């Protein structure tokens, strides 16, 4: 792996650390490498959950590498599989990703965190979309995902002024799941990952698939769609070995042993 990424496996959990001093900014080359890591995570049946974090205690990621931009890298450059940072356009990833935000998450760094399924952040973390002040827009998902989480007035203020949101405000709006000290950050993210890994992998995949595909539907439309047979994971989970193992383990007062099928 490159000097910019440190990747470790802990059982079914993949930990990815972005390490590009001083601000963990992401250029196209790094984005390609991150995409390859997330694709490998997607395709590895032994891996259940991924954690993405930044090296150090100041920056999760400052987003797009403006030095690369100044040298000619365009905002619409090819950032590789999965889009910017390897995750923002990886729409067929039906495994959960936790962003462990250890400091500033600005621009594309915030967009990377928003592309994760859950966010654990340090109490010194802050979030911003300052692109308009740079003459561009947050088009790696920021202007699409943030409006699904917070009211329009807050979204407009953040995107049009670039103002920072601190960790406690992000918690109040439901953008992040947990706020902990920097020293506790990875422990908290790993604890959350371990809790997810205790659930059946097919069930987790089906849940992510259904939420993703029905988010713009009415409840009635969602029912019809999930029953239509168009989904990959939802129909299979209902008749899986794990669907038999879960109740059996409960009745026998033991931990389930998931087969993932």
Question: Among this protein's residues, is 169 annotated catalytic?
Answer: no
pLDDT (tens digit per residue) in 136-169: 999 999 999 999 999 999 999 999 999 999 999 9
Looking at residue 1, its pLDDT comes to: 53
pLDDT (tens digit per residue) in 168-226: 999 999 999 999 999 999 999 999 999 999 999 999 999 999 999 999 999 999 999 99
Say yes or no to pLDDT of 71 above 80.
Answer: no
Closest CA to 201 of 143, 261, 142: 261
pLDDT (tens digit per residue) in 104-120: 999 999 999 999 999 99
Please identify which of the residues 15, 33, 131, 209 carries the catalytic annotation. 131
Looking at residue 206, its pLDDT comes to: 94
Please identify which of the residues 15, 33, 111, 209 carries the catalytic annotation. 111
- Give phi and psi for 26, each to the nearest 5: -120, 120
The reported pTM is 0.93
- Give phi and psi for 60, each to the nearest 5: -70, -60
Q: What is the DSSP string of 99-157?
A: EEE-SEEETHHHHHHHHSSEEEEETT-EEE--GGGGT---TTTHHHHGGGTS-HHHHHH
Looking at residue 184, its pLDDT comes to: 97
Looking at residue 238, its pLDDT comes to: 84
Question: Among this protein's residues, is 73 annotated catalytic?
Answer: no
How would you list the strands of the sheet with 104-106, edge to edge? 59-61, 104-106, 126-128, 165-166
């Amino acid at each position: 792996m490159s000097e910019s990424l440190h990747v470790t496996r802990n059982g079914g959990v993949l930990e990815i650390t972005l390490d590009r001093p001083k601000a963990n900014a992401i250029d196209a080359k790094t984005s390609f490498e991150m995409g390859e890591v997330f694709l490998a995570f997607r395709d590895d049946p032994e891996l259940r959950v991924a954690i993405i974090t930044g090296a150090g205690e100041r920056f999760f990621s400052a987003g797009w590498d403006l030095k690369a931009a100044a040298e000619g890298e365009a905002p619409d450059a090819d950032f590789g599989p999965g889009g910017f940072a390897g995750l923002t356009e990886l729409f067929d990833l039906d495994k959960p990703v936790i962003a462990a935000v250890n400091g500033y998450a600005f621009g594309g760094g915030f967009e990377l965190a928003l592309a994760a399924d859950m966010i654990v952040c340090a109490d010194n973390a802050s979030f911003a979309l300052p692109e308009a002040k740079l003459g561009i827009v947050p088009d790696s998902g920021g202007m699409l995902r943030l409006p699904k989480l917070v009211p329009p007035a807050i979204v407009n203020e953040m995107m049009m002024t670039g103002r920072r949101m601190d960790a406690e405000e992000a918690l109040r709006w439901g953008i992040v799941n947990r706020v902990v000290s920097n020293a506790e950050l990875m422990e908290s993210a790993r604890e959350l990952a371990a809790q997810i890994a205790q659930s059946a992998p097919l069930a987790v995949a089906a849940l992510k698939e259904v939420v993703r595909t029905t988010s713009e539907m009415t409840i009635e439309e969602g029912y019809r769609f999930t029953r239509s047979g168009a989904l990959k994971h939802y129909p299979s989970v209902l008749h899986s070995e794990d669907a038999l193992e879960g109740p059996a383990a409960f009745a026998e007062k033991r931990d389930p042993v998931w087969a993932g099928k």
